[in-house]
Amino acid sequence: MRVLAAAARRAEQGQPLFNLAAGQPSTPAPAPVLAAAHQALDSQILGYTETPGIAPLRRAISGHYRDRYALDVDPDDIVVTTGSSGGFLLAFLAAFDVGSRVGLARPGYPAYRNILHALGCEVVDLPCGPETRYQPTAAMIDGLGLDGLVVASPANPTGTMLDPVELAQLATHCADTGVRLVSDEIYHGITYSGQTSCSWATNRSGFVVNSFSKYFSMTGWRIGWLLVPHDLTDVLDALGGNLAICPPAPAQYAALAAFDGYDECDRHVVRYAENRRLLLNGLRRLGIDRLAPADGAFYVYADISHLTDDSAAFCAQLLDRAGVAAAPGIDFDQVDGHRFLRFSFAGSTATVIGALAALEEFLNER
């Protein structure tokens, strides 16, 4: 966030900026969503809605599971949330207590850790490296006495995925050993190799977290959803009603049309794939070649230990001298992140090309 603020200051001053730090699409919501939003503003009262979200949206999300996953999900098991971030808060509050032990891959998305800490849970670090594609395994969590496990596939910051067999193994292991699995599937739809699967295809005792933010290009609309295990449905309803009453009504009516926007979203993924190809090739050409396999999402996580031992300072210099914004690994891994950078290729292809040229000049001048 500090990098993003510094990048914004640069842009305001009219200095060149190649932003590879932002973890969000650079495109608006799909056209059908924009049209539905206009229509909702003109025709709906937009008061509070039912706490778990309007019934048509829950039915539409259920249809998404039928069409894209061949999975039968009852709309009553779906709770619409204020982005997946709101979903994490509800899921963690419902599933865990103060002192609960929850396993997280390191590196990983920092909000998991921060929300769990705020709730008094104990985060159990699962150091994950290239040997397991930066993902936890069933063997890794055995005997740790966990109450919960959060996995993300594709993951942030690495983009790596659990293949369907690995995810199924984790889901089964968690169900068999009383570990509540929280499967973050927010980057589904944005993949380049391999196959994504839903943890509910194997077992429904955990949560699935998803969102309209990434594939559907709707970060600021603050709308996502949870698949909720049956034993926690009532708890979720009580928590949701008290904490937020309901997710934002305008975003709910607009999101109803997101499932008419697959073609537009898939075109974004084609651009991400081209950006990814250019970035991976360009970085390798510059000698930055220890890269996490970017199976999905829009990130490349790069080991830059041959260039620096302080990736935060390196990021600051890179922005200051070359106008390239990237995220320091320390944001995602407080132990080893000082050796890593995360590059996002969610922006335009021109941004990626410009960033590579500026990075090359920066490295040559060091």
Ligand X SMILES: Cc1ncc(COP(=O)(O)O)c(C=O)c1O
Are 305 and 338 contacting, i.e. CB atoms less than 8 angstroms apart?
no
Pick 27 or 219: Cβ nearer ligand X: 219
Q: How far is it, in rounded angstroms, from Cα 53 to Cα 43?
A: 18
| Nearest one of 48, 90, 352 to 240, comparing CA atoms | 90
Pick 91 or 318: Cβ nearer ligand X: 91
- Kindly state the smallest distance separating residue 24's Cβ from ligand X, in Å: 7
Pairs from 161-167 (Cβ < 8 Å, separation ≥ 24): 161/133, 161/135, 161/191, 161/194, 161/196, 161/295, 161/296, 162/133, 162/135, 163/194, 163/195, 163/197, 164/195, 164/196, 164/197, 164/201, 166/135, 166/137, 167/197, 167/199, 167/202
- Kindly state the smallest distance separating residue 84's Cβ from ligand X, in Å: 3
- Interface positions with ligand X (CB under 6 A): 23, 83-85, 109, 152, 156, 184, 186, 211, 213, 219, 224
The C-alpha angle with vertex 88 and arms to 84 and 91, in degrees rounded to 5, equals 125
Pick 104 or 324: Cβ nearer ligand X: 104
The C-alpha angle with vertex 77 and arms to 71 and 78, in degrees rounded to 5, equals 90
Q: How far is it, in rounded angstroms, from Cα 217 to Cα 194?
A: 22
Q: How far is it, in rounded angstroms, from Cα 29 to Cα 9?
A: 26
Pick 157 or 282: Cβ nearer ligand X: 157
Pick 82 or 100: Cβ nearer ligand X: 82
Pick 229 or 247: Cβ nearer ligand X: 247
Pick 156 or 308: Cβ nearer ligand X: 156
Pick 194 or 305: Cβ nearer ligand X: 194
- Kindly state the smallest distance separating residue 111's Cβ from ligand X, in Å: 7
Nearest residue to ligand X, using CB? 83
- Kindly state the smallest distance separating residue 218's Cβ from ligand X, in Å: 8
- Kindly state the smallest distance separating residue 83's Cβ from ligand X, in Å: 3
Pairs from 6-11 (Cβ < 8 Å, separation ≥ 24): 6/316, 6/319, 6/325, 7/319, 7/325, 10/319, 10/323
- Kindly state the smallest distance separating residue 157's Cβ from ligand X, in Å: 8
- Kindly state the smallest distance separating residue 117's Cβ from ligand X, in Å: 16
Pick 22 or 73: Cβ nearer ligand X: 22
Q: How far is it, in rounded angstroms, from Cα 12 to Cα 65?
A: 43
Three-state SS at 349: helix
Are 122 and 147 contacting, i.e. CB atoms less than 8 angstroms apart?
no
- Kindly state the smallest distance separating residue 354's Cβ from ligand X, in Å: 23
Tokens 């210099």 -> residue: 317
Kindly state the DSSP code that residue 160 receives in the 8-state scheme.
-
Q: How far is it, in rounded angstroms, from Cα 51 to Cα 175?
A: 28
Find the DSSP H helices in the chain. 2-12, 31-43, 55-69, 83-95, 110-118, 138-141, 164-177, 233-243, 249-255, 262-285, 311-317, 349-365
Pick 178 or 220: Cβ nearer ligand X: 220
- Kindly state the smallest distance separating residue 302's Cβ from ligand X, in Å: 17
- Kindly state the smallest distance separating residue 45's Cβ from ligand X, in Å: 26
